[in-house]
Chains A and B, each alone.
Chain A
Amino acid sequence: MNVKATLATGLVALSLGAGAAQAESVTIGMITTLSGGGAGLGVDVRDGFLLALEQADNSDIELVVEDDAQRPETAVQIAERMIQSERADILTGIIWSNLAMAVVPSVVEQDIFYISPNAGPSPLAGANCHENYFNAAWQNDTLHEAAGQTANELGYENTFIMAPNYPAGTDALNGFKRYYDGELAGELFTQVGQTDYAAEIAQIRDSDADSIFIFLPGGMGISFMRQYAQSGLDLPIVSAGFSFDQDVLPAMGSTALGVINTGQWSPDLDNEANEAFVEAFEEEYDRLPSIYASQGYDTANLILSALETADVSDKDAFREALRAADFDSVRGSFAFADNHHPIHRIYVREVVEVDGTLTNRIIGTAFEDDYRDVHGANCDM
């Protein structure tokens, strides 16, 4: 080996070494729901996120995960602690919109990035949008708007609609009504975490509804569907995917078969990134991924893609890198609108049984690739 080559190799090694030393470590704080009735959602977001980090094998990233127990005050405390003592650069993880509304505005004001893997309350997409807030999942209304659109296509003319009384529930009913053309047989707010729906089911029975739209994520959906199955009512249900995904389907059982629901993702979605994701997730955790797991996975990959082109300490550069959304989303086409919420396609899915396991399969498209939420119009970014 001649001297020149040796020198060149040495220089390359040096510059590589220097490069590695320059890449600063990044702390990501994940605040999510790991206990209580909403735990299934948080566990899936976390596991999807962890899978992506593991695949990237980036030793500069440190992830801190904490349980908010679905309580806003706990989430606020954890966020403060993560910023003050852990020196977190990026926060993520919150499942519930009421928690997001309590945490996100003050976090982004402190010049910390918040990337939402789930909650997308309308104020944060509209008037209260912020340059440091990104949503890698959807704006809350989105899947419900798609459900309203689907109800029209299915020919429903008198739908009974129902959601829990919290920000995402309001967004759900507003979203559904924005696209739905028929009459409303009734409109109900239930309580968050409610377990008994006998009073609501009796009112559905008493109305002359021809169909039902529900938004009841987590255990609420399981309770409703069990009681609905035993009520003797047999109206078709249309819903957003949150109430009929892999976290709750095994517990719902055959009652859920045939329910039409909407989602930006489905396990059978035909693209390379998704096939690899579903396979790796099953391999790692021995269960099918849910829509929440796919969002956790997308969120992590979005952050990883931005870290590849910019340092998190250079806020402006990192923000631009996030905005570019240069990653392979498992949902296929993905871009950010001006309000930092996704522009993406929304599918219509049906609950089916495959090899003894309840899951979803795509049966159509509600909105094409260029769908974006309406609240962006109120955001002056």
Chain B
Amino acid sequence: MSLALLIEQLLNGVQFGLMLFLMSAGLTLVFGVMGLINLAHGSLYMIGAFFCAAAAAATGNFWLGLMAGLIAAAAAGALIEVTVIRRLYNRDHLDQVLATFALILILSEGVRMLFGPFPLYLDAPAILRGTVDLGITQYSLYRLTLIVLGVAVAIGLWALIARTRLGIQIRAGENDREMIAALGVNIRALYTVVFALGAALAGLAGALVGAIQSVQVGMGEPVLILAFVVIVIGGIGSIKGAMVGALLVGVIDTMGRFLLPRFFATFLDPSQAMGVGAALASMLIYVLMALVLVLRPKGLFPAHA
């Protein structure tokens, strides 16, 4: 095993983690501010990817597609919030899970009716294809761009929450809903904005990842499960926790898939080692989650410590 391989895998882990962060940031924000468990978050990721692919195919321009995906996901988020989610804030979590699960089915079927059952074509823009020479290894330019974009969005989100009026309202909303409503903040509008923001982040992740993955119905659910793992590890409601959790999950998952089979190959025959290694690697992040839950039941950075 060479150093180049190790570095490439580390970059892969970080890139995967940053895309997970875009997903989990919205999820954790919505839970932190509104106390809502939104299972349909993965559907917004899917909507972002489909609208991006469709718009990119129609206009021939990836960036227009990206905008379309972002806007479609935010619009879908706002629409869902106003029509369905708004009625769920005062219900208990089981009702929320049931209603948002129904939304997954409705949105998946809706996307299938609109775009058909077959995966769509979406490719990275020509300017971002190919690889860059990092000195020690070749790395995909598009993945490198994803890393840069992920970091930029994370900084933007931090600035939004720490430095703007909206951010103050969001933080206040997390701490005491009744009080900020009493202070004259339009809490209903605030909730819609936060939900649309989370949806836009999910849509952005879907559109960006759509260019290197299969744009297909149901693409959001596997990511949603990982996003839940991330926010449980990071501490539900904490953006910082989502960032650390996402990077941990991204790097550990990538490294596990790559190192475990090699580790077992040192004392088992290759086929057997591959089987055992692959099976253990797919469990690794859940083991991590269980460990975090045992040691710090509220996650690494609990929002309401």
The minimal Cβ–Cβ distance linking B117 to chain A, given in whole angstroms, is: 5
Residues in B with CB closer than 8 Å to A220 are 214
Query: Which residues from 253 to 286 on chain B have a C-beta closer than 8 Å to any C-beta of chain A?
Result: 254, 257-258, 261, 270-271, 274-275, 277-279, 282
Residues in B with CB closer than 8 Å to A34 are 117
Is A253 positioned at the interface, with any CB of B under 8 Å from its CB?
Answer: yes
Is A198 positioned at the interface, with any CB of B under 8 Å from its CB?
Answer: yes
Residues in A with CB closer than 8 Å to B277 are 189
Contact yes or no, B121 A250, CB < 8 A: yes
Contact yes or no, A198 B218, CB < 8 A: no
How many Å lie between the Cα of A198 and that of B18 in the bound state?
Answer: 14
Is A16 positioned at the interface, with any CB of B under 8 Å from its CB?
Answer: no
Please choose the segment from A17-25, A116-124, A201-209 that sits at the chain B interface, where 4 or more of its residues have CB less than 8 A away. A201-209
Contact yes or no, B131 A222, CB < 8 A: no
How many Å lie between the Cα of A220 and that of B213 in the bound state?
Answer: 8
How many Å lie between the Cα of A247 and that of B261 in the bound state?
Answer: 32
B143 touches which of A173, A187, A223, A230 (Cβ 8 Å): A230
- Taken residue by residue from 120 to 162, chain B's Cβ proximity to chain A (1 for < 8 Å, 0 otherwise) reads as 1101100001110000001011110000000000000000000
Query: Which residues from 178 to 223 on chain A have a C-beta closer than 8 Å to any C-beta of chain B?
Result: 184, 187-191, 193, 195-196, 198-200, 202-203, 205-206, 218-220, 222-223
Contact yes or no, B117 A251, CB < 8 A: no
Q: With A165-B278, A191-B282, A230-B212 in contact, do A198 and B121 touch (Cβ < 8 Å)?
A: no
Contact yes or no, A40 B117, CB < 8 A: yes
A247 touches which of B118, B123, B131, B211 (Cβ 8 Å): B118
Contact yes or no, B118 A250, CB < 8 A: yes
Contact yes or no, A205 B138, CB < 8 A: yes
Residue of B nearest to A219 (CB): B214
Residues in A with CB closer than 8 Å to B282 are 165, 191
Is A356 positioned at the interface, with any CB of B under 8 Å from its CB?
Answer: no
Query: Which residues from 202 to 248 on chain B have a C-beta closer than 8 Å to any C-beta of chain A?
Result: 209, 211-219, 221-223
Interface of B: prevailing SS: helix
A189 touches which of B15, B119, B120, B278 (Cβ 8 Å): B278
How many Å lie between the Cα of A57 and that of B285 in the bound state?
Answer: 53
Is B9 positioned at the interface, with any CB of A under 8 Å from its CB?
Answer: yes
Q: With A35-B218, A226-B212 in contact, do A40 and B8 touch (Cβ < 8 Å)?
A: no
Is A236 positioned at the interface, with any CB of B under 8 Å from its CB?
Answer: no
Is B84 positioned at the interface, with any CB of A under 8 Å from its CB?
Answer: no
How many Å lie between the Cα of A278 and that of B213 in the bound state?
Answer: 29
Q: With A202-B258, A251-B118, A251-B121 in contact, do A232 and B213 touch (Cβ < 8 Å)?
A: no
How many Å lie between the Cα of A220 and that of B131 in the bound state?
Answer: 22
Is A36 positioned at the interface, with any CB of B under 8 Å from its CB?
Answer: yes
How many Å lie between the Cα of A198 and that of B146 in the bound state?
Answer: 13
Contact yes or no, B5 A202, CB < 8 A: yes
Contact yes or no, A165 B117, CB < 8 A: no
Contact yes or no, B4 A39, CB < 8 A: no
Contact yes or no, A187 B9, CB < 8 A: no
Contact yes or no, B254 A198, CB < 8 A: yes
Contact yes or no, A37 B275, CB < 8 A: no
Residues in B with CB closer than 8 Å to A251 are 118-121, 214-215
Residue of B nearest to A254 (CB): B123
A34, A200, A202 pick with most chain B CB within 10 angstroms: A202
How many Å lie between the Cα of A184 and that of B109 in the bound state?
Answer: 43
Query: Which residues from 105 to 125 on chain B have a C-beta closer than 8 Å to any C-beta of chain A?
Result: 108-109, 112, 117-121, 123-124
How many Å lie between the Cα of A88 and that of B201 in the bound state?
Answer: 47
Residues in A with CB closer than 8 Å to B279 are 165
Residues in B with CB closer than 8 Å to A200 are 257
Q: With A37-B218, A222-B213 in contact, do A231 and B117 touch (Cβ < 8 Å)?
A: no
Interchain Cβ contacts under 8 Å between A and B, 21 examples: A34-B117, A36-B216, A36-B221, A37-B214, A40-B216, A165-B275, A187-B270, A190-B278, A191-B278, A191-B282, A198-B254, A199-B257, A203-B5, A220-B214, A222-B214, A222-B216, A223-B213, A223-B214, A226-B214, A230-B129, A230-B140
Q: Give me the interface of B with A, judged by CB distance under 8 Å.
A: 1-2, 4-5, 8-9, 12, 15-16, 108-109, 112, 117-121, 123-124, 129-131, 138, 140-143, 209, 211-219, 221-223, 254, 257-258, 261, 270-271, 274-275, 277-279, 282
* 8 shortest interchain CB distances as A-B pairs: A219-B214, A232-B131, A222-B214, A198-B12, A36-B218, A189-B278, A206-B5, A251-B119
